[in-house]
Each structure stands twice: as structure tokens, then as C-alpha cells.
Chains A and B, each alone.
Chain A
Amino acid sequence: MGILEVKNVNKRFGGLQALGDVNLSIRENSCHAIIGPNGAGKSTLLNCLVGKLIPDTGSVLFDGQSVLGRTPYEINQMGISRVFQTPEIFGDLSVLENMMIPIFASRDGSFRMHAIENMHNEKAVVERAKQVLDEMNMLDKQHMHAASMSRGDKRRLEIGMCLSQNPRLLLLDEPTAGMARADTNNTIDLLKQIKDERDITIAIIEHDMHVVFSLAERITVLAQGTPLVEDDPENIKGHPKVREAYLGEAA
């Protein structure tokens, strides 16, 4: 039994069957990649896991508990953090403040009215934020306006914000999309390091095969809303069905 169990999930948008009978099991402390051509339903599947979409049928269990019908913030409080395709950070805030918010969220829950409390009394949160920034090699940027950073740094900050909450499952939606080669390699190194150093399960959606084969321990190939194969990376590379899905029948 994996930490995340997706069973018989179906999702329809009008006449389009976006997901058809998806079954997926992600082992704890593994790195699982979901790949597939455009329109295969990867993002739809991810959105079903984090509460943005609700599947028509089927079940999604995280650590034995259903996530269906829960809002994104409730699912985050269960221990799932998500990194977006375009980095979603608090652009108007400083880098340090960006890092403090998820730490407050893990400590205080989804809402707390600490309106008169003073920031000086939150030393523990500030310390922890600085510690995570240090781990991300971003401590020198702590007073920067988050929106003014480069794409790669924004991605690094977003991953750091997710990690500061010590999530059990980290979902990455095309974390290197639109990145320069150097930034992509930096991100791969960062993710490798996270995978090695922490007890964390990573699920990654990715187009870039270089990224997938550098990180994944298990790969699911999705095509037209259904999983074609699930196997180890070595077996996926030469799999005829995968070639067919990616390159068309003629190949």
C-alpha cells in the first residue's frame, strides 16, 4: 500500500474523457514520475490530487484518508505540498516573508487571528525561515523583493517554501518548464539532494526526459487519460507502447 492511492478515477469535461480509470500507487519515500504527451491528462490528475478538481468517480487516498471533497488548504495541512509549473510565490513580499508564511501555516493551522502580536515575538519562525533559506543557498537574498528574482531563484524559493512545511508528499508540476539549461540542472541537483537527505515522497510531472530519468525511481506513462505502463526507468526507455504514445504508430 502506497502513501498515495488513486483508484478508478474518472474525470470528464463535457464530451472529453480527460481521465479514464486511472489507477496509481505511489510508494512512500520514492520519486515517482508521471509522463505522457500533451493532453494525456497529467495536469488533470494532479489537480484531482490537490483538491482543485473533484473526480467524477473513483477515490484518492493519502495515507489512508480520502482527499476528495477537501479544499486545497485542507489537503496541504494533511501533508501534501505542491510546486506549480510557473512559480507561485508572494511576489510583493520579501523573500524572508515568503518563507515565513508557510511556517506560520504549519504552526498555526489554516487561520489564526494574531493581529496584535508582534513580529519580534516570532523569533522561532524567523529563525526557521532563515535556516530553510540557508539550506536553499538563498540567505543572501532574504531582503529581496521576491518578484524581482530570476525564474530559477523563484523556483528554488517555491520549493523551499514547500519543504519548510516538512510535507510527506511533494508534488511537482513541470518544475523545469521554460527554464534555461543551467537553471534546469540546478533544479535537478536541488531535487536530488532533497530526495537523498529527507524522508519525502516526490511525485513529478515532467516533459523533459532528461529531468525524468535523472530523478525518477518509478515512472507511469499516461496517454489519453489512461495509464499505459508503470515500470522502472530502465524498462520504460525502450518500451514499445511508450514509443508509440510519444511518436505515433508509425514509429
Chain B
Amino acid sequence: MLGLNNKDTLLLIIVAAITLLAPFILNPFPTQSAMAQFNAGYPDLMQRFVIFGIFAIGFNILFGLTGYLSFGHAAFLGVGSYSAVWMFKLLSMNVIPAILLAMLISGLFAVLIGFVSLRRSGIYFSILTLAFAQMSFNLAYSVLTPITNGETGLQLTLNDPRILGQVTTAEGSIPVTSLFGLEMRSTYEMIFGPWSFQFNAGYYLCAIIMLLSFYIAIRIFRSPFGMMLRAIKSNQTRMSYTGLNPRPYTLAAFVISGMYAGLAGGLMASMDPLAGAERMQWTASGEVVLMTILGGAGTLIGPILGAGFIKYFENIFSKINDNILHSWFAFMPDGFENALVAIVHPFVGKGWHLTLGILFMLVVVFLPGGLVEAGQRVAKLFRRRKSEKTSDESAQSKPAE
């Protein structure tokens, strides 16, 4: 279907089903229950899942296929966000032109950075991209204040021209982002017994764009171009002695993944129309590297898993504070309770980075292929059990024949 083989079609359908049913899947616990804090099905977080999914899918096209590790991809995210907010300020609150401009500008930016950085490979390439990203960050923070509004961040105001849209709403406030009149923040809440599920317009826009991005990524992975990118990762010497110029291939991959990042940045601004320089900081670049490696670099589904995993930790684990811990362990004698809370305390709340760090180390050491490899191993285990069982049965049934 759609030019994909059966396996890829199945993968696409599964991902589509999960993203479209996410409001149900991420809210498994009733609103009033003690477990409700593990619910992740609120619009803000769901949007972040898919937006960072897009960011990681794009990053994986560069890192997973060519092996070029960019440490400055957040620069494109930031550029995308700034472009989108400018579109909201100057043109209208429609998200489509904003997203298109975000992709265009980040693409141009990627051509520039890629052209210089791709002259080197390995660690030198990583450092060059890191340097460019930090330069962009510092420029956005200080020198380019007229464009970026410095440390305050770029925001919408009542004085913006918005030549094609309304400058202010009837009530005199700043209008909200929309898709041809459908407000991005509009949410339909479905109450089902003790459960509540939220369906947000912005989330579904992001989800559909992510599915589209994922589909394009599958096509790239399976195309002759994708094969060339894997060949670059494998052996550049053979590549050039086979009559192929690796430079334009890597540049194309770099620009594509830069545009994916710009798209993610544009969507971020479309959901919440402000952009700050911190979006370009190196920690943000590092985060997408973590997502891709944690999920499984070079695999199709890995980056999405990694993005979801890290964003879930960031938003859910970080909210567990000491009070919640005490209520969990309340059934124990006082001394035990306090001791357990003291042990768990560093790993949750503000200490969620520690848990994530340990998990990351465990994955890299024991599962170099990331979460995808974990899934494959479990599947293999089940298959082996099954085949053992069937072979046992056939062995037993033989004498009877």
C-alpha cells in the first residue's frame, strides 16, 4: 500500500492507530484515582510527544542513515519557531503559512550550516554543528534582539500588523492560532464514567503531520537514496571510488533533517505562539540525540519511541514529589516509610534526570539497538518458546502416527 511493502505498511498502520487513539491510550486511569498522575493524555503533553517525534524522525534520517552525528539540530528547531511566530505577527494566525515558512527558512539555514560542517566528518563534524548552534543561540539571545526579542523571547502583541488576519479579537485580546478558523487550542472533552478523554485540534494537526513525516521517512529509508546514505555510513572510500560523490548526498540528508526540525519548531510555535532562544541551546540538541539513541538509531520506529519515552519522563516523573511518595508508602511503619522515601527521592521529582541517565546507560550498555532491540529480543524469546512448544508437540505426536 502507498508504495510500501507489507511490513512497513503494518508499521505505519500501527503508528497511525496509536497516535490517533492516543487520547484514550495515554489516559488509562480514572481522573480521581491515585494513579491519575500517570495519565499523559492532556493536549499540551500529547502535542509535545508528536512534535518531538517529528524532530527525532528527521534527526534519524541524518544520524541513523549517514552516521553523521549533528550536535546542533536544535538550531533548526529554534529557527523554525522564530519564523512561525514572525508569520503570526506579520501575516495571519493561520498555521499553514507559518509551518511552510518555518520549513523553508530552516532548510536554507541547513544548506548554509551543512555546506560548511560537512567538509569534515566524525567528531569534527559534530563540533562544527555544535559551534554553529551555540552561535545561533547566542546571536538570538543578544545581537539579533530586533528579530528574536532577546531573552524575553518573541511574542505576539496587539500592535502586530497581521495584514491578512485580524489584529485583535472582538474582545480586544490577541487572536489565537488556527487552521482556517479551527482554533488550535479547542478541545473536546469526553466524559466516560470516571474517565475523561481530551481531543485537541492542535494535537490532531500535529499527529497527522507526524504521520505524514513518518511516511516520507519510510519512503526515504527504502529508496535508492536511502541506500546511498547507508553506504556513506558504511564505507566512504568505496563510495567515492565507485563514482559517487558523498558530499551532495550528505548535504541532502542534512537539509532534509534540518527541515524536519524546522517543521517541529514551526508546530511548537503554532501550538503556543512564542519562541525563545533557549530552544536552540545545546541541551536541546543533546536531547534529540538521546531520543534517537534511546529508541534505536537507524530504525524507523525507534526515534518516535525515544521521543515519547523521554517526554513522558520529563513531564510525569518530574511531578512526583515527597508528598506523593509519602502517600504511596503510607501503609508501612513510619521508620520504613521515611527510609523508602529518602531512597526514592533522588530519582523522582527534580531528580528525574538521574533516572533517565541510569536508564540511558543501561540501554547503551545492554541494548545498543535501543528500545527497538529490546522489543525484538522479547519477540524472539516468545517465538522461540512457541517453536519449542510446537516442536515438542510434533515430537510427541510422531510415535502416535
Genuine A/B complex: yes
Chain A positions near chain B (C-beta within 8 angstroms): 50, 71-73, 76-77, 81-82, 84, 88-93, 97, 100-102, 104-106, 109-120, 122, 125, 161, 165
Given A73-B240, A73-B241, A116 and B223 contact (CB-CB distance below 8 Å) = yes
B186 at the interface (CB under 8 A from A): no
Asked whether, in the complex, the Cβ of B225 is within 8 Å of the Cβ of A115, the reply is yes
Asked whether, in the complex, the Cβ of B223 is within 8 Å of the Cβ of A119, the reply is yes
A118 to B240, CA, bound (A): 24
Asked whether, in the complex, the Cβ of A92 is within 8 Å of the Cβ of B233, the reply is yes
B375 contact set on A, CB distance < 8 A? none
B26 at the interface (CB under 8 A from A): no
User: 0/1 per residue, B221-260, Cβ < 8 Å to A?
Assistant: 0111111101101110111111111001100100010000
Asked whether, in the complex, the Cβ of A116 is within 8 Å of the Cβ of B219, the reply is yes
Asked whether, in the complex, the Cβ of B3 is within 8 Å of the Cβ of A118, the reply is yes
B307 → chain A closest CB, angstroms: 23
Asked whether, in the complex, the Cβ of B225 is within 8 Å of the Cβ of A114, the reply is yes
Q: Which of B219, B235, B239, B240 touches A115 (beta carbons < 8 Å)?
A: B219
A127 to B197, CA, bound (A): 53
A89 to B223, CA, bound (A): 20
B233 contact set on A, CB distance < 8 A? 92
Closest to A76 in B: B243
B3 contact set on A, CB distance < 8 A? 118, 120
A161 to B237, CA, bound (A): 14
Asked whether, in the complex, the Cβ of B227 is within 8 Å of the Cβ of A88, the reply is no
A50 to B234, CA, bound (A): 21
Would you mind naming 13 contact pairs between A and B with Cβ atoms under 8 Å apart? A73-B242, A73-B243, A76-B240, A92-B230, A92-B234, A97-B231, A100-B227, A109-B243, A115-B223, A119-B227, A120-B3, A125-B224, A165-B243
Closest to A102 in B: B242
Closest to A79 in B: B243
B220 at the interface (CB under 8 A from A): yes
A116 to B222, CA, bound (A): 8
Asked whether, in the complex, the Cβ of A115 is within 8 Å of the Cβ of B242, the reply is no
Q: A-B pairs with the 3 shortest C-beta distances?
A: A76-B243, A115-B225, A105-B243
Asked whether, in the complex, the Cβ of A73 is within 8 Å of the Cβ of B245, the reply is yes
Q: Which of B225, B235, B240 touches A91 (beta carbons < 8 Å)?
A: B235
Q: Which of A72, A88, A93, A118 touches B222 (beta carbons < 8 Å)?
A: A118
Closest to B247 in A: A111
Asked whether, in the complex, the Cβ of A111 is within 8 Å of the Cβ of B245, the reply is yes
Q: Which of A88, A104, A119 touches B238 (beta carbons < 8 Å)?
A: A88
Q: Which of B224, B241, B245 touches A117 (beta carbons < 8 Å)?
A: B224
Asked whether, in the complex, the Cβ of A71 is within 8 Å of the Cβ of B245, the reply is yes
B228 contact set on A, CB distance < 8 A? 101, 104
A33 → chain B closest CB, angstroms: 21
Asked whether, in the complex, the Cβ of A76 is within 8 Å of the Cβ of B225, the reply is no
A104 to B230, CA, bound (A): 14
B363 → chain A closest CB, angstroms: 21
Asked whether, in the complex, the Cβ of A119 is within 8 Å of the Cβ of B224, the reply is yes
A116 to B239, CA, bound (A): 21
Asked whether, in the complex, the Cβ of A77 is within 8 Å of the Cβ of B235, the reply is no
A125 contact set on B, CB distance < 8 A? 224
A185 to B252, CA, bound (A): 44
A105 to B228, CA, bound (A): 10
B225 contact set on A, CB distance < 8 A? 112-115, 117
Closest to A147 in B: B234
Q: Which of B222, B231, B243 has the most CB of A within 10 A?
A: B243
A130 to B284, CA, bound (A): 46
* Besides A71-B245, A81-B241, A90-B231, 6 new A-B residue pairs in contact (Cβ under 8 A), listed by A number: A73-B245, A76-B241, A97-B227, A97-B230, A117-B224, A120-B3
Q: Which of B222, B235, B244, B252 touches A110 (beta carbons < 8 Å)?
A: B244
Closest to B253 in A: A115
B256 contact set on A, CB distance < 8 A? 115
Asked whether, in the complex, the Cβ of A50 is within 8 Å of the Cβ of B241, the reply is yes
B241 → chain A closest CB, angstroms: 5
A165 contact set on B, CB distance < 8 A? 242-243
B85 → chain A closest CB, angstroms: 30
Given A111-B249, A119-B222, A72 and B241 contact (CB-CB distance below 8 Å) = yes
A41 → chain B closest CB, angstroms: 20
Asked whether, in the complex, the Cβ of A89 is within 8 Å of the Cβ of B235, the reply is yes
A110 → chain B closest CB, angstroms: 4
Asked whether, in the complex, the Cβ of B252 is within 8 Å of the Cβ of A113, the reply is yes
B250 → chain A closest CB, angstroms: 11
A125 to B242, CA, bound (A): 15
Q: Which of B374-396 contact A (CB under 8 A)?
A: none
Asked whether, in the complex, the Cβ of B244 is within 8 Å of the Cβ of A111, the reply is yes
Given A93-B231, A100-B227, A115-B219, A88 and B241 contact (CB-CB distance below 8 Å) = yes
A120 contact set on B, CB distance < 8 A? 3
A50 to B238, CA, bound (A): 12
Closest to B238 in A: A88
A115 contact set on B, CB distance < 8 A? 219-220, 223, 225-226, 252, 256
A97 to B226, CA, bound (A): 11
Given A93-B230, A93-B231, A117 and B223 contact (CB-CB distance below 8 Å) = yes
